[in-house]
Structure 1
Amino acid sequence: MSLAAVLAGCADEPAQDGPIEVTRAACGAGWTAPPPGPQTLRVRNNAAVTMEVELVDPATGTVFGELEGVGTGTTRSLPVNLGNGAYALRCAPEDGTPFVGPAVTVSGGTDRPGPAVVPVTYADLLEPLRRYHAYVADGLATLAGQTESVKQAVRTGDRGAAQRAWLTAHLTYERLGAAYDAFGDSDGAINGTTDGLPGGAGDPGFTGFHRLENGLWHGESAAALVPVADRLDADVRELRSSFGDAQIDQNDLGLRAHEIMENTLQFELTGRTDYGSGSNLATAGANLAGTRAVLDVLRPLLNTRFPALKDLDAWLDRTEHDLHAAAGTSLSALDRRQRERLNGDVAELTERLAPIAAIVEPRRIS
């Protein structure tokens, strides 16, 4: 969801007579004394480069709407809802420094109806990224000890102990969901599925947690599973070693806050990632914990930018409560009412998380 979708008002009134022009030298030529209320601004890029154009408060930088990737010679529509106050356009050439055009004043209407977002800068995200990197590093340290336990249990041939150790380790990994892109190829090796593998569960490229799960819960011999467990442990240790130098992309925290639960709905609550353990609901709980970890580091930025944060927290609590109520139950053992409630919880939570990516997307403002 783009910031424009988050901020857009209902454009019940027609667009202005002529387009507002933006160039490298001028941001907002032709925009004077707009009326209050819902309307559509037509913005034409007469520069030789692609531009990002935002409608802002010239004093505070608060963003009321945006157009991303306005190409050379194109005209785009920006629906807005203008209350009383000063406004300006901020233009960001793709290869240059953002600058703010002249201010225009709206009067004769009502107070600004909102919503509006104070932009998040790259500097604002440094501390959340540092904190989340530390969270993941701690999680990987814990995971390395747990996969060692998995390996030892498989080697001793104690299938029950190996299954319990597997679940503990897998849930630890599933709590680190916002860092998967930073893990690179290691994520596929550690937590990949059979999707896209021509040989399915017997494909040599099927490794990691789910390969081991498939063997542990389908009677595969300990001798056959020892190299699988050994490789899982080695891959985790290699990831732990390399992660110290890895960087989490600035956009990933906001995006993954939403995508973790979207993936939970798509894969865990459908059973697509169950290879025998019946632990999808436990994994969904770990995913929820991973989402909370992302929100915890972003909360200082969201407190003043996301009015719906309190309602989001309430849905997190509701979803956690319902998952705990189903603890120890396989997905297939849920009755229809339980399954519908959980699907509804996670679907609604996913929707409520969606605006966060746009709100905390880092912006160039100077």
Structure 2
Amino acid sequence: MSHSAGSASPRPASQRLMHLAVVGAAALVVAGGVAFYYASKGARQGVAGDAITVTIKDGVCDPNTITVAAGPATFTIVNKSDRALEWEILDGVMVIEERENIAPGISQTLQAKLKPGDYEITCGLLNSPRGTLHVTPSAASDAEAARPALRAYLGPLAEFQVFLVTQANSLVKVTQALDGAIRAGDLEKARQAYQSARTPYKQIEPMADQFADLHNTIDPVADFLERREQDPAFTGFHRIEYGLYTDKRTAGLEPYSAKLLADVTALKDRIRGMRILPEQIARGAQRLVASMAATKVAVGVDHYAQTDLADFDANIAGVSRMMTLLKPVAMTAAPQVVADIEARLTDIDNALKSLRGPDKFPAYDSVNGDSRKALSQKMQALADAIGKFNAAVGLE
């Protein structure tokens, strides 16, 4: 859970930047206080009741309108369509919970801790009409509104916000370089910029993918679109990847790189104004790693560039950073949970290092099934370890 970064030596011109950084950090601390206020009103996890079955067929949820009481709820998602699908609970554009890659004829169970309000649910492909989830107040949610403030999380929240903003700024900068290389028609430079841009995005993915509208334009995978690579909704990183590595050209990619740049800029702005709850950090990390364990490690998502190992490495670096920020708060209450998470992170780091070549990671299609299975198991062990964190420190 440790993370180190080099620091540049002081320069006279840096004084103004340092001043702005201090002001920005102070603003982030205030933002952390606001986030803490909302966190103090969150509900503790209880025992979910009977599962609510949602059947998806022909792009429609049955039932299409669901009402549940606030607190823990369990949903069983049944895929009766002929395509793999995702099921998400959305609060506006924010993803509350999700299940990915539900195969045809298969059902998966999802547990969510829900606050009172109205939410949307996805019903198959990304462009299918959405259903409605009504969450009514309950005695448990009213009682939890009085939960005491957890001031120890103010520092980690502010530091996490700084980390997110820094990575988002880097993402915009390298995406500008990608757009410039595509417009210049420089295929090799565009490929290098594409791979560089993936790193900051993957490091902040646990938070970035909560903005469903932007996530679905920045990083959609063709597998989940009706017409796959020919679908109009196939945009963002993977559309550019397809052009650079399958078509092997930059021509025609200019509209996609321009849109990607606009979308990551919008993401940066949203991240700057994000109000993060303490429990979101571990929950976001756990959700991402569980998704990697369940499907991404097995089949990959970088189908054209085969750069999945670099993506995984960046994802784990981001998760490690997130858990490191929470470590000082958790050491007294849950030292064993912290130690388990650190051990699992080290295990994955060593596994990735063993797959790395002298200069870079190999193409993912050269990684055999046994290695993928072993890596997937290590990811699941990490997801399970992180999944214990919030309850261990009293956040659930």
Q: Distance in 1 between matches of 2:184 and 2:247?
A: 15
Unaligned runs of 5+ in 2: 1-43, 48-68, 73-112, 115-138
Pick from 277, 286, 298 the counterpart of residue 326 of structure 2. Answer: 298
Q: Distance in 2 between matches of 1:335 and 1:51?
A: 43
Q: Distance in 1 between matches of 2:204 and 2:297?
A: 19
How many pairs are equivalent? 264
The aligned amino acid for 2:364 is L
Alignment of 1:1-366 (within 5 A): 93-96=140-143, 121-219=149-247, 221-306=249-334, 307-327=336-356, 328-360=361-393, 362=395
> Following TM superposition, by how much is the alpha carbon of 1:345 offset from its aligned partner in structure 2, in angstroms?
1.9
User: Which one is further off, 140-149 or 326-335?
Assistant: 326-335
- Is the 8 Å Cα contact of residues 213 and 277 (structure 1) preserved in structure 2? yes
Residue aligned with 1:304, SS: coil
Residue-by-residue CA offset, 1:172-204 (whole Å, 9 max, x unaligned): 100002312553422222112224422211111
Residue aligned with 2:253, SS: helix
Q: 1:275 to 1:335 in 2, by over 3 A?
A: closer
- Is the 8 Å Cα contact of residues 153 and 161 (structure 1) preserved in structure 2? yes
- Is the 8 Å Cα contact of residues 194 and 201 (structure 1) preserved in structure 2? yes
Normalised by the size of structure 2, how large is the TM-score? Answer: 0.60
- Is the 8 Å Cα contact of residues 182 and 247 (structure 1) preserved in structure 2? no
- Is the 8 Å Cα contact of residues 298 and 373 (structure 2) preserved in structure 1? no
Residue aligned with 2:232, SS: coil
The percent identity for this pair of structures is: 23
RMSD value, Cα:
3.0
Q: Distance in 2 between matches of 1:196 and 1:343?
A: 21
Residue-by-residue CA offset, 1:37-92 (whole Å, 9 max, x unaligned): xxxxxxxxxxxx9899xxxxxxxxxxxxxxx99xxxxxxxxxxxxxxxxxxxxxx7
Q: Based on CA coordinates, which of the two structures has the bigger radius of gyration?
A: 1
Q: 1:226 to 1:316 in 2, by over 3 A?
A: same
Unaligned runs of 5+ in 1: 6-48, 53-67, 70-91, 100-118
The aligned amino acid for 1:160 is E
Normalised by the size of structure 1, how large is the TM-score? Answer: 0.64
The aligned amino acid for 2:142 is D
